Structure 1
Amino acid sequence: MRAKFWLALGLAVAGQSAAAACGGADEICEIDTGGYFIELPEKENPPLVVFLHGYGGSGAGTMKNRGMVDPLLDRGYAVMAPDGAVRNGRKSWNFYPGWDGRDETAFLTEVVEDAADRFGVDSDRVVLGGFSAGGFMVNYLACDAPDTFSAYVPVSGGFWRPHPESCEGPVRLFHTHGWTDNVVPLEGRLLGGGRFHQGDIFAGLEIWREANECADTKPSGFSTTDQFMRRKWNRCADGSALEFALFPGGHTVPNGWADMMLDWYEGLPGG
């Protein structure tokens, strides 16, 4: 009996080790609907930043952006980079209403639940960010299901035209964009021979102000953080937060973004 007990215990431990054997910048964790990469800080039950790559990118490529990943880890956050599903031969995100493909809200919820089971991340403190197509995905998910994650931090991605007529709220969202971005210009641009039209970033902010029931279109405050010119709206619904940061560069995740974003998030109630 004792031998069987220790054998069963050993198999259980081995099974747990195998389940958590993935992780790190080069080892993908797989679930039925896709996979993700994850790195953990040196603390238990850490909050989590999930960051979605751009069109044609990958989770592995996101983890190589150490200028973004390392500051997040240093601040005690786990960092997850899921893989988009293949669309037209490249990995991207099924963000536009009416497209066929993976249910991305379900997928992203599942990978967070998987990381909570495997690595003990805090599934109640999850920030969803993304770049370019990943930023579009963040906006559309926040628009449809703002309660899915704790906060939303898109970079260089908003909505497509026609803009959503409305979004659910309240939402806690911090949008960052480059002044000279010519891939996702602030005004948007035509794609696919005119079949698609990127939306206007400032029109998107208007949608978010309406979702958050803000009392005025005028920002409540202006500030600068290093290269970032920031504006925020405070006179809005309880539980909401809305801020916009503009930087002088182009289509990129800018230096200093990670710390600025976490300072914003940690300043929110429950952040």
Structure 2
Amino acid sequence: MTVQFVWFVQIKLSECPLVFRKTLAVLALLSFPLPALACGPDDDCLVETGNYRISMPEAAPRGALVFAHGYRGSSRGVMRNMALRRLADEYGFALVAINSVSGSWNLRYSPGKTFSEGRDEMAYVDAVLDDVIAKYGVPAGNVYATGFSEGGMMTWTLLCERGSRFAGFAPMSGTFWTPEPAECASAPADVVHIHGTADPTVPITGRQIGQSKQGNLNTVLAMYRAHGDYRDAGRETLDTMTCEFARNPEGRRLDLCLFDGGHSFSVARLRQALDWLTQG
């Protein structure tokens, strides 16, 4: 048997020492392409400007739930929430935990940030979505976005700038930093916003942090109502929330659900939002 290398040197293996033959065998194995490293809920999936983690349902995914963590959070921490993972499974969704740089999203006017020098979060999310759709067979038209606290701010930013890439949004306990945007680039979308009436961390009217200030939820909702021509469509008192509904001429929803409490995340409240968003 003769082995031929790319530099056209031919060697008869029978005439080579045993150690050399073993070395050639290793080199031959290395010449084949290696499979991509596996990723999932316990290991990072890599994209050009960052990483994310993903938990898949048992069957082929019917869609995906993209979750943005709060301040000092991480995709690793999101995946530790087994109740959230079970919720995604109930819908047949892949749970996609996007990951900030150093525990904080690069959002316009946020404290301690030089926005123009930080990561382009919209380009990062575009890369994550493209990766998830290509590698895991997630239907591109059935992806929902949600997030809590600073992750709620990230969700509102996605809603305003990448609305067409998602089927619906459920931001929780966060909107924007001031000044709030006067308009959104994306077409009107389906939104259910959830917030605690006694939230001391991200109050409905916002809170000053250093030179920055959190946005006023009522200002943001008024802007988005005008953006999509949403009109009042009633209210409903549930076990855990009181919700005010609005609809626009295209049937899009803009709902505000308030609960008596502070800065807390609830899978049960998110489930209600997803029920409305997925059922139209």
Report the TM-score when normalising by structure 2. 0.81
- Per the alignment, in what secondary structure is the counterpart of residue 243 of structure 1? strand
Partner secondary structure for residue 161 of structure 1: coil
One-letter code of the match for 1:231?
E
- CA drift at 1:255: 4.1
Distance 2:251 2:62 in 1: 22
Measured on the aligned residues, the alpha-carbon RMSD in Å equals: 2.0
Letter in 1 for 2:93: Y
Q: Is the 8 A contact 1:135 1:157 kept in 2?
A: yes
Letter in 2 for 1:51: F
**1:258 correspondence with 2:270:** yes
Preserved contact between residue 220 and residue 233 of structure 1 (Cα < 8 Å): yes
**One-letter amino acid of the structure 1 residue matched with residue 199 of structure 2:** D
Q: 2:249 aligns with which of 229, 237, 246?
A: 237
Corresponding position of 2:181: 164
Deviation digits for residues 56-82 of structure 1 (CA, Å, limit 9, x no counterpart): 110111111223221221221110111
Instruction: Output aligned runs, 1:3-152, within 5 Å.
Output: 15=35, 18=36, 21-24=38-41, 26-86=42-102, 91-96=103-108, 99-100=115-116, 101-152=118-169
* Number of equivalences: 245
Give the deviation of 1:94 after TM superposition.
1.4
CA shift for structure 1 position 53: 0.4
Distance of 2:100 and 2:141 partners within structure 1: 23
Larger Rg belongs to: 2
Q: Partner of 1:4 in structure 2?
A: none
Name the counterpart of 1:183.
201
**SS of residue matched to 1:256:** helix
Q: Is the 8 A contact 2:87 2:267 kept in 1?
A: no
CA contact (8 A) 2:61 2:94 kept: no
| Residue identity (%) | 34
Tell me how far apart the structure 1 counterparts of residues 269 and 125 of structure 2 sit (CA, whole Å): 22
Following the alignment from structure 1 to structure 2, what is the Cα–Cα distance between the partners of residues 31 and 110?
A: 6
Deviation at 1:135, TM superposition (A): 0.8
Instruction: Answer yes or no: is the 8 Å Cα contact 1:152–1:174 preserved in 2.
Output: yes
Q: Distance in 2 between matches of 1:154 and 1:161?
A: 17
Task: Tell me, in whole angstroms, the C-alpha distance in 2 between the residues paired with 1:267 and 1:33.
Answer: 34
Report the Cα offset of residue 249 of structure 1: 2.1
Contact 2:159–2:169, Cα closer than 8 Å, also in 1: yes
Structure 1: gaps of 5 or more residues: 1-10
SS of aligned partner of 2:115: coil
Alpha-carbon distance between aligned partners in 1 of 2:131 and 2:213, rounded to the nearest angstrom? 35
The runs of 5 or more residues in structure 2 that have no matched partner are 1-31
Give me the whole-angstrom Cα distance separating, in 2, the residues matched to 1:38 and 1:225.
Answer: 32
* Counterpart residue number, 1:7: none
2:205 is the counterpart of 1:228: no
Amino acid paired to 1:69: R
Aligned to 1:3: none
Mapped partners of 1:202, 1:142: distance in 2: 16
Q: Which moved more, 1:126-135 or 1:62-71?
A: 62-71
Partner amino acid, structure 2, of 1:145: R
**Per-residue deviation, 1:239:** 5.4
Structure 1 length-normalised TM: 0.84
CA apart distance, 1:265: 1.3
Q: Which residue in the other structure is 1:205 paired with?
A: 221
Spell out, residue by residue over 1:104-159, the C-alpha distance to the aligned partner (whole angstroms, 9 max, x if none): 11111111211222222222211011111111111122123321222111111012
The answer (yes or no) to whether the contact 1:189–1:197 under 8 Å persists in 2 is yes
Return structure 1 stretches of 4+ with deviation > 4 angstroms. Answer: none
CA distance in 1, matches of 2:72, 2:191: 25
SS of the residue corresponding to residue 263 of structure 2 reads: coil
Distance 1:155 1:224, change over 3 A: same
